[in-house]
Structures are given as C-alpha cells and as structure tokens.
Amino acid sequence: MNTFTETIKYFVVIMLELSALFIGISTIVALVFSYINHDKLKNWMEGKGIWGNILGVIFGAITPFCACSTVPMTLGFLQAGIPFGTVISFVISSPLMDPLIFIMLGAFMGWKVAIAFLILTSIAAIIFGVLLDKIGGASQVKNVRLVRGGHDEELPTDFKNRLIISIYKAWGDFRGVFIYMIIGVAIGAAIYGYLPEDLLARIAGRGNPLAVVAVALIGMPLYIRVESAIPIGLALLDKGASIGAVMALIISGAGIAIPELTMLASIFKKNIIISFIVIVFVMAVVTGMIFNMII
C-alpha cells in the first residue's frame, strides 16, 4: 500500500510539474518569438553548418530544462524555422548540461569527471544533430506550423495582448500533447514505484562486464533530472557500482524519459523517435565505457 501511495503521489506531482513547466515555457517561448522576426532568425541560424549545431548545444547547456521541458522549446524552434539539426542538438544537450550540473558533478565526483562529462555529451549532441539532419530527419517533423515570411500573423504591439495570445497558444500546444503526457507519466510512475533498488545496485556492480549496457537500458524509462541522478549515482558508487555505469544511468535517465518520448511523438514521426532512443542509448553506453577506461 505504501508503494502504491508513493506511485500515485509521484504521478500527481510529476503531472502537475510537467503541466506547469510546459504551459509556462510555451508561453515564454511564444512571447519571445512574437518579438523576433522569424525569417531573420532562420537566416542567421542557416548556413552555419556545424556551427549551428554548436549553437544548439550551447543554448541547451545554458537553459536549465529537464527532458520534458525541452519539448515546448523544441516546438517553438521548429515553428520559427530553425534548422532541424540545430534543434536536435539542443534537444539532446538541454537536459544533460547546465552550469548547476557541471558544478554538482565537480563537487561530488571530481572536476575530471565533470569536464569529461561535458566534453563527451557535447560532442555526441553535435555529431548526432548533424547526422540526423544529413539523413533527412527534417522530413519526419509533423504537426508543426512552420513560419514563413517573418511573422505568420499580425500581432498587437502592446505587451499585455501579446502575452494573452502567447498563453492561448501555449494552452493549445498543451492540449495537443496532454494525452501523451498522461500515458508517459503513468508508465514512468509505475517504474519509479516498483523497480527494486537492490537489483539495480547488483546489475551496476563493477564485477558485471555488461553493467554499462544494462544500466543504460534500465535508466531510459526512468524520469529523473540530472540533479536527482547525481545523488543516486553517488549511492550506487558507495554500493560498488562502476563510474561508467553511473554515467550511463545519468545520461539515459536524464537524457530521455517516457513522458518526453510520448510528447515528442506529437511533434516527430516514429523514425525520429526510434532514432532518438538509439542516440541516447549509444551516448550512455559509449560515455560509460570511456569513463571506465579513463577514470
């Protein structure tokens, strides 16, 4: 009964947090973009090649968003016509990197770990953003009203009415992903409440040669922020887990989540969703293995 109660509590809290984050961020994004000429923004970001991906990673690193919070920002970027590869690099990097995460990693696990984490995740976000763009991932975008010719509609000049319009737009976007959010959070809550902690510690042990792969798979359906994953990782290290397994858990657990996947499914077709799952898994495994070799 206690586990069931905690699971329900988790579901309610996460749903409320996600709803507030989604509507709040969507409103801010819509309001900011109402003051930006979309054609100028698109032209500035286009033609930069890999530098566009680097800009996406930098923006993702300075915005303290969790995985699900990146969805409204992603929608706003796509509607503004920002290149697909740049958007993907942002989506990958945003939940994994920000100044707080870097400081927490440095303080609790050492600055060598923090710097290696930042470098490896940044490189991966750039590479996969470029790769998905080159193989035609932009054709897999759905349910996005791309803006053309500057602003796609006449907007009022005063702040109050722009804010009202932005709130209505945010509410419309939220209604479009609401059912996906419910399904994803329900699954994540069940995993959160009923996944045995001791089992995770045994699987992540230093004596298990497949620890990194196993933990990366376990972490993917969990909805955890990096700030939450770091204390979990410290506890696993105390129980004998390898540093690589902990890094794999942080990347897979924070880099993707079932609630995020279900919301992204309202924006992207299934090929991109599958590609995104594979990308996060590969990032987690490769980064974990590198950590085990160098640290």
pLDDT of residue 150: 43
Enter the pTM of the model: 0.70
Our measurement of the distance from residue 271's CA atom to the centroid of its chain's CA atoms, rounded to an integer in Å, reads 17
User: For 195-243, how does the pLDDT look when each residue is reduced to its tens digit (9 = 90+)?
Assistant: 666 666 677 777 777 889 988 888 887 766 665 667 677 777 776 778 8
List residues bridging with 241 in a β-sheet. Answer: 205
What integer pLDDT is reported at residue 147 of this predicted model? Answer: 47
Q: Which of 288, 275, 278 is nearest to 134 (CA)?
A: 275
3-state secondary structure of 271: helix
Answer whether residue 128 shows pLDDT above 90: yes
Give me the helix-helix angle, 159-194 and 70-79, nearest 10°. 140
Which candidate, 229, 233, 256, 230, places its Cα nearest to that of 245? 233
Q: What is the pLDDT of residues 257-290, one digit of tens each?
A: 777 787 788 888 888 889 988 998 999 999 999 9
pLDDT band at 184 (very low <50, low <70, confident <90, very high): low
CB 110 within 8 Å of CB 247 = no
The CA distances from residue 94 to 33, 57, 185, in Å, are 19, 7, 20
| pLDDT computed for residue 82 by the predictor | 83
Q: pLDDT > 70: what percent of the chain?
A: 78
Number of residues assigned to the chain: 295
Helices (H), the chain: 2-34, 38-45, 50-62, 70-79, 84-93, 99-109, 111-134, 159-194, 197-203, 211-219, 226-238, 243-255, 258-264, 270-294
Indicate the domain borders of the chain: 2-294
Distance CA 69, CA 264 (A): 11
Q: Which residue has the tokens 């803006």?
A: 147
- pLDDT at position 149 over 60: no
